[in-house]
Amino acid sequence: MRDEYDSPVFSECRSYTNCKKTGTELILGTGRFVAPRTLEVALGDEAVRRLRGAEVIVSTGTRAALDAIPGLAKTQPLTHVEALEFDRVYEHLVVIGSRYVGIEFAQAMRRFGSRVTLIGRRPRLTFQEDQEVSEALRSHLEDEGITALLNTRINRVSGRSGEAVSIFVEQNGTE
The predicted-structure confidence for 135-163, as pLDDT tens digits, reads as follows: 999 999 999 999 999 999 999 999 998 88
Q: How many Å apart are CA 107 and CA 41, to the nearest integer?
A: 26
The domain ranges of the chain are 2-52, 73-171
pTM, two decimal places:
0.62
Q: Residue 26 has what pLDDT?
A: 67
As its CATH architecture, domain 73-171 has 3-Layer(bba) Sandwich (3.50)
- DSSP H or E run through 81: helix 80-83
Are the beta carbons of 128 and 118 closer than 8 angstroms?
no
Cα separation, 154 vs 160, whole angstroms: 16
Task: List the chain pLDDT tens, one digit each, 175 residues.
Answer: 433 433 333 344 445 566 667 666 667 778 888 998 888 888 877 889 998 888 776 655 556 677 888 999 899 888 877 777 777 888 999 999 888 888 988 998 899 999 999 999 999 998 888 889 889 999 999 999 999 999 999 999 999 988 889 999 999 888 8
- Secondary structure tally for the chain: helices H, strands E: 4, 9
Chain Cα centroid distance, residue 121? 17
